[in-house]
Amino acid sequence: MITATLLFLVLLTLIVFSVRERVRLRVGRRYRSQKMWEVEPRSTPVSEAIVSLVGMAGGIYLSLILLFTFLDVVVPNKIRLGQVEMDPLAAFAIGLAVLQPFFIRLWSFIRGRFES
């Protein structure tokens, strides 16, 4: 029980930091100012970052499914971490999507150091 709760809190913390980093990466974009009486939903940097995170994880997941199906690799349906059961490919896809903005920042830092 404690392991599952701890795993959930760590995953939730990583997702929050990933969304925050995605918002920082979109500094050049400003969300559109709209009039108060318009009914259209507003697009904020946080909502765009969450959509980006979910879209990236979904794309990675579909790519992994296609790759493993093409290569005929057998992957277990579920893995168990404490009390939590999950699809290993989905967990890996979410993990990569959460880490992606940090890799982008690290890559731009390394590239900036060598270009100077």
Give residue 95's domain range. 47-116
Give the integer Cα–Cα distance in Å for 95 and 43: 25
Task: Write the pLDDT tens digit of every residue in 65-112.
Answer: 999 999 999 988 898 877 788 899 999 999 999 999 999 999 999 998
pLDDT digits over 28-60, tens only?
Answer: 455 444 455 555 666 788 888 889 999 999 999
Domain-embedded: residue 60: yes
In a domain, 71, yes or no: yes
Task: Provide the 3-class DSSP secondary structure of residue 98.
Answer: helix
Considering its fold, how many domains does the chain have in total? 1
DSSP state of 75: -
Q: Is residue 112 part of a domain?
A: yes
Q: What is the 3-state secondary structure (H, E, C) of 67-101?
A: HHHHHCCCCCCCEEECCEEECHHHHHHHHHHHHHH
Evaluate whether residue 110 is within a structural domain. Answer: yes
Residue 14, domain member (yes or no): no
Q: Is residue 74 part of a domain?
A: yes
Residue type, 63: S
